[in-house]
Amino acid sequence: MRIIFYIILVFLSLPMLAQSTFMPLYNIDGNHFVTRLEMKADSLFHNLHSSQRPYNRKAIAETVDALELEPLFFNRMDRRQHAYLAKDNSEWNLSRVKSKRVLFKPFYQYKSDFLFIDQADFKLKLNPVLHFEVMKELDDSTTLFINTRGIEARGQIGKKLGFYSYLSENQARFPTYSRNYILGNRHLTLPGENRFNAFRDSGVDYFSAAGYISFPVLDKVNIQFGHDHHFFGNGFRSLILSNFAGNYLFLKAQTNVWIFQYTNLFAQMITQFESTIGNVSGYADGQRGRKYMALHHLSMNIGKKFNLGIFEAVMSGGDLDIQYLNPIIFYRAIETQTGGSLGNVIIGADFKYLPFKKWTVYGQLVLDEWSFESIRSLNGDWKNKNGFQLGIKTIDFLKVPSLDLQVEYNQVRPYTYTHSDTIANFTHYNQALAHPLGANFREVISIIRYDLKQNIGFKLKGMYAQTGMDSDTSNWGGNILLDYNNREQDLDNKIGQGIATDILYGSLTVSWQWGHNLFLDGIYALRQASTESSSTTTQYIGIGVRLNTGRKEHIF
């Protein structure tokens, strides 16, 4: 990775323009409001390609300003969401979000910030992070909880550098099915995070950290370097790269020109490791192995209604091959010229279409390996490793303001994302980089959102999945941590093979936004997993308060 540091030093020595940070992926409401604006406008935003998140805050502010005088915001709820985005990106909208009464400058000088320092060559926004939640399983006496305290900072240094940092200390005891995933012999890792230590009885203690620097190069290219998540796609799930796994070291170059947004992402991941539940408290000691991912994604707005994206990604062990730093070459072409495969390559595409106002159709296609001969013969060849997604969104459904619906279907064949060398599997720290279920599944997701005038929001989420689980001695293609050379069979492979398991999940969350990014939450959730021989059900209720952070929802 030394070459990456040299690249950054060269870029920093160049003349710079205005820089920006990015809206975190945990801000689910803010990200939803951005895509909602696009559906209201019934036209794609050329400065915000929704298939590549997180979104640039300056681009969000520019979009909000551009739509200020448009007749899109015909009801109070639309104006409230518009005002939220203006407040949340206040460094680019200062004139409209100042607090009416400021007791002690610079504290809460602006409605969205505990501390905002605004100097000619230095800007700093500082906010506390809090999340306290108590939950109770209906058939278990154990008290569940989340206790998070931290700080979030972002700002600018001169005209050259933007920076962001998120730090929190956390203790939690999650519902039974989550604990089984976290403490199980397969994973021993926390979704969305990395290392943790045991805390009291079946609880976890972990430190969460994200941070990066951001700086523009020339007029149309932005560089990011740090630790964080990324998400590719327009759905609730991503079959390319999601934020299910923990943060990782990355270098990202993003180019916006004409109808194109081109992203190059280079990342250092942690290889999978043997886990032993009997040594939970000390399992994370010592250095973990490293592996490297290179990904490029081209997003194109074709007209005002249709967006098409194509991508290619490679995962390899050992050192990152310097040839993958070429931003405009196909990785398969490199492998052909160097005499063989250097890693696990996945290609694919995504799309989004606005058929008419307030509606969006979207999808993804992922190809790991394929055989045209096997496809024609329909013989279930294991080499046909692929997946696809198809979804639809609508807002103001049945002309009810802020009643938004989303339905999404995901499917991934067995052994997708796996490799003969397990280091090259598309995983990070024992977690899937794309879909939480790994591979060998079908899934339907539905989401209903409804916001009231009193800053009260309802979210109803449902998931039904059919998947084939692997036992300790079998490999039917669901567990992407395994070596595909140990597969059960070459032919007649189909989705759901192995231990056929049906997973049903449903949740209702009611949130009252008391202040900017300050929420009081009430939640009910149910999760049931059934096989031919057994069935387990987890059902719980909870209440909590959170400030400048999102809820951890383990929907898998």
DSSP string, 370-439: --HHHHHHT---TT-EEEEEEEEEESSGGG-TTEEEEEEEEEE-TTTT--SSGGGSSEETTEESS-TT-S
Per DSSP, what are the bridge partners of residue 515? 518
φ, ψ of residue 81 to 5 degrees: the values are -65, -40
Return d(Cα 17, Cα 58) in angstroms, integer: 12
Whether residue 551 contacts residue 129, with contact meaning beta carbons closer than 8 Å, is answered with: no
Return d(Cα 477, Cα 484) in angstroms, integer: 7
Return d(Cα 538, Cα 467) in angstroms, integer: 18
437: amino acid identity, one letter: L
| Secondary element (H or E) of residue 59 | helix 57-66
Radius of gyration of the chain measured on its C-alpha atoms: 23
Q: What pLDDT sits at residue 267?
A: 96
Q: What pLDDT sits at residue 15?
A: 46
pLDDT digits (tens, 9 = 90+) for 457-507: 999 999 999 999 998 889 999 999 999 999 999 999 999 999 999 999 999
Fold of 2-276+288-547: Porin (2.40.160)
Q: What pLDDT sits at residue 353?
A: 98
| Burial letters 486-505, b for 16+ CB under 10 A, else e | ebeeeeebebbbbbebebeb
Return d(Cα 475, Cα 498) in angstroms, integer: 8
The tokens of 275 are what?
A: 């886990």
The tokens of 75 are what?
A: 């009801």
The span from the first CA to the last CA of the chain, in angstroms, equals 34
Instruction: Write out 228-288 in H/E/C secondary structure.
Output: ECCEECCCCCCCCECCCCCCEEEEEEEEEECCEEEEEEEEEEECCCCCCHHHHHHCCCCCC
| Burial letters 223-243, b for 16+ CB under 10 A, else e | bbbbbbbbbbbbbbbbbbbbb
Q: Which positions of the chain have pLDDT values less than 50?
A: 5-16, 277-282, 284
Longest dimension (CA), the chain: 74
Return d(Cα 2, Cα 248) in angstroms, integer: 16
Alpha helices in 342-430 (DSSP H): 372-377
How many CA atoms, within 13 angstroms, populate the side-chain half-sphere of residue 167?
5
Whether residue 312 contacts residue 330, with contact meaning beta carbons closer than 8 Å, is answered with: yes
> C-alpha distances in angstroms, 281 versus 85, 199, 227, 245, 276?
42, 8, 25, 21, 10
DSSP state of 495: T
Whether residue 514 contacts residue 520, with contact meaning beta carbons closer than 8 Å, is answered with: yes
> C-alpha distances in angstroms, 369 versus 311, 382, 410, 428?
15, 9, 18, 21
Return d(Cα 297, Cα 366) in angstroms, integer: 13
Q: What pLDDT sits at residue 79?
A: 84
Whether residue 471 contacts residue 485, with contact meaning beta carbons closer than 8 Å, is answered with: no
Return d(Cα 342, Cα 55) in angstroms, integer: 32
- Whether residue 401 is preceded by a cis peptide bond, meaning omega within 30 degrees of 0, is no
Whether residue 540 contacts residue 525, with contact meaning beta carbons closer than 8 Å, is answered with: yes
- Three-state DSSP class for residue 9: helix
Q: What pLDDT sits at residue 96?
A: 62
Q: Is the pTM of this model over 0.85?
A: yes
Tokens 């730090």 appear where? 167
φ, ψ of residue 94 to 5 degrees: the values are -60, -35
The tokens of 100 are what?
A: 């009416």
